Amino acid sequence: MRLKFMRRPLAAILATLFVASGGLARLRKTPEPEKELTVSAAISLKDALGEIAKLYRIEMPDTVIHFNLGASGTLQRQIEQGAPVDIFISASKDQMDSLDSRGLLLAGTRRDLVKNAVVLIVPKQRAGFPVFRILRGRK
Protein backbone atom coordinates (compact mmCIF):
# COMPACT_ATOMS: atom_id res chain seq x y z
CA MET A 1 0.00 0.00 0.00
CA ARG A 2 2.83 2.39 0.86
CA LEU A 3 4.35 1.66 -2.56
CA LYS A 4 1.14 2.79 -4.29
CA PHE A 5 1.20 5.97 -2.22
CA MET A 6 4.77 6.81 -3.40
CA ARG A 7 4.17 6.00 -7.06
CA ARG A 8 2.12 9.11 -7.72
CA PRO A 9 4.70 11.65 -6.41
CA LEU A 10 7.56 9.71 -8.01
CA ALA A 11 5.71 9.64 -11.35
CA ALA A 12 5.07 13.39 -11.07
CA ILE A 13 8.75 14.08 -10.39
CA LEU A 14 9.88 11.91 -13.31
CA ALA A 15 7.33 13.53 -15.62
CA THR A 16 8.54 16.99 -14.58
CA LEU A 17 12.17 16.04 -15.17
CA PHE A 18 11.26 14.48 -18.51
CA VAL A 19 9.47 17.62 -19.69
CA ALA A 20 12.17 19.93 -18.31
CA SER A 21 14.89 17.97 -20.07
CA GLY A 22 13.18 18.24 -23.44
CA GLY A 23 12.21 14.57 -23.65
CA LEU A 24 14.10 11.43 -24.44
CA ALA A 25 16.15 13.00 -27.19
CA ARG A 26 17.97 15.05 -24.60
CA LEU A 27 19.02 11.92 -22.74
CA ARG A 28 21.30 10.95 -25.64
CA LYS A 29 24.00 13.19 -26.96
CA THR A 30 22.93 14.17 -30.46
CA PRO A 31 25.62 15.36 -32.87
CA GLU A 32 25.55 18.91 -34.14
CA PRO A 33 23.98 19.14 -37.58
CA GLU A 34 26.49 19.53 -40.37
CA LYS A 35 26.78 22.96 -41.91
CA GLU A 36 26.98 23.17 -45.67
CA LEU A 37 28.84 25.68 -47.79
CA THR A 38 28.32 25.90 -51.56
CA VAL A 39 31.22 27.38 -53.51
CA SER A 40 30.83 28.18 -57.20
CA ALA A 41 34.25 28.82 -58.66
CA ALA A 42 36.17 29.00 -61.90
CA ILE A 43 37.37 25.56 -62.98
CA SER A 44 40.93 26.90 -63.20
CA LEU A 45 40.91 27.07 -59.39
CA LYS A 46 40.11 23.38 -58.90
CA ASP A 47 43.52 22.32 -57.56
CA ALA A 48 43.96 25.37 -55.34
CA LEU A 49 40.45 25.04 -53.88
CA GLY A 50 41.05 21.35 -53.20
CA GLU A 51 44.04 22.27 -51.06
CA ILE A 52 42.14 25.07 -49.33
CA ALA A 53 39.25 22.68 -48.61
CA LYS A 54 41.60 20.25 -46.85
CA LEU A 55 42.81 23.01 -44.54
CA TYR A 56 39.28 24.31 -43.99
CA ARG A 57 38.05 20.85 -42.94
CA ILE A 58 40.71 20.76 -40.23
CA GLU A 59 39.50 24.09 -38.82
CA MET A 60 35.77 23.49 -39.43
CA PRO A 61 35.17 19.71 -39.36
CA ASP A 62 31.38 20.12 -39.07
CA THR A 63 31.15 21.99 -42.37
CA VAL A 64 30.66 20.17 -45.65
CA ILE A 65 31.88 22.06 -48.72
CA HIS A 66 30.13 21.51 -52.04
CA PHE A 67 32.04 22.75 -55.08
CA ASN A 68 30.34 23.79 -58.30
CA LEU A 69 33.18 24.33 -60.77
CA GLY A 70 32.84 25.68 -64.28
CA ALA A 71 33.35 28.62 -66.60
CA SER A 72 32.79 31.95 -64.85
CA GLY A 73 30.13 32.98 -67.37
CA THR A 74 28.21 29.74 -66.87
CA LEU A 75 28.38 30.13 -63.09
CA GLN A 76 27.18 33.73 -63.44
CA ARG A 77 24.10 32.58 -65.37
CA GLN A 78 23.39 29.91 -62.76
CA ILE A 79 23.44 32.55 -60.03
CA GLU A 80 21.21 34.86 -62.09
CA GLN A 81 18.74 31.99 -62.44
CA GLY A 82 18.63 31.45 -58.68
CA ALA A 83 21.23 28.74 -58.02
CA PRO A 84 22.02 28.61 -54.29
CA VAL A 85 25.58 29.84 -53.80
CA ASP A 86 27.39 30.93 -50.64
CA ILE A 87 30.67 31.93 -52.26
CA PHE A 88 31.37 32.83 -55.89
CA ILE A 89 34.97 32.97 -57.11
CA SER A 90 35.18 34.21 -60.67
CA ALA A 91 38.16 34.18 -62.98
CA SER A 92 36.89 37.40 -64.53
CA LYS A 93 36.04 40.78 -63.08
CA ASP A 94 33.28 41.13 -65.71
CA GLN A 95 31.07 38.44 -64.17
CA MET A 96 31.48 39.92 -60.71
CA ASP A 97 30.67 43.41 -62.01
CA SER A 98 27.54 42.11 -63.75
CA LEU A 99 26.26 40.29 -60.65
CA ASP A 100 27.08 43.32 -58.51
CA SER A 101 25.21 45.70 -60.83
CA ARG A 102 22.13 43.46 -60.61
CA GLY A 103 22.24 43.45 -56.82
CA LEU A 104 23.00 39.73 -56.64
CA LEU A 105 26.03 40.07 -54.36
CA LEU A 106 25.61 40.52 -50.63
CA ALA A 107 26.57 44.13 -49.95
CA GLY A 108 30.06 44.57 -48.54
CA THR A 109 31.22 41.01 -49.18
CA ARG A 110 33.00 41.36 -52.53
CA ARG A 111 36.76 40.83 -52.32
CA ASP A 112 39.44 40.70 -54.96
CA LEU A 113 41.44 37.67 -53.86
CA VAL A 114 44.09 37.44 -56.54
CA LYS A 115 45.28 39.25 -59.61
CA ASN A 116 47.09 37.92 -62.59
CA ALA A 117 49.26 39.41 -65.26
CA VAL A 118 50.56 38.17 -68.56
CA VAL A 119 54.26 37.46 -68.35
CA LEU A 120 56.39 36.69 -71.36
CA ILE A 121 59.55 34.72 -70.71
CA VAL A 122 62.04 34.17 -73.50
CA PRO A 123 65.50 32.67 -73.65
CA LYS A 124 68.21 35.32 -73.44
CA GLN A 125 69.43 34.57 -76.97
CA ARG A 126 65.92 35.33 -78.39
CA ALA A 127 65.47 38.69 -76.64
CA GLY A 128 65.96 40.57 -79.90
CA PHE A 129 63.02 38.89 -81.63
CA PRO A 130 60.90 41.71 -83.21
CA VAL A 131 57.56 40.57 -81.74
CA PHE A 132 58.95 40.98 -78.23
CA ARG A 133 60.15 44.53 -78.97
CA ILE A 134 56.67 45.38 -80.30
CA LEU A 135 55.07 43.98 -77.15
CA ARG A 136 57.34 46.16 -75.04
CA GLY A 137 56.25 49.19 -77.04
CA ARG A 138 59.38 49.56 -79.20
CA LYS A 139 59.76 49.04 -82.91
The one-digit pLDDT tens for each residue of the chain (139 residues) are 444 555 555 555 555 555 544 444 444 555 666 799 999 999 999 999 999 999 999 999 999 999 999 999 999 999 999 999 999 999 999 999 999 999 999 999 999 887 777 777 777 776 566 666 676 665 5
- Neighbouring CB atoms inside 10 A of 40's CB total 23
The reported pLDDT for the residue numbered 21 is: 46
Whole-model pTM: value is: 0.63
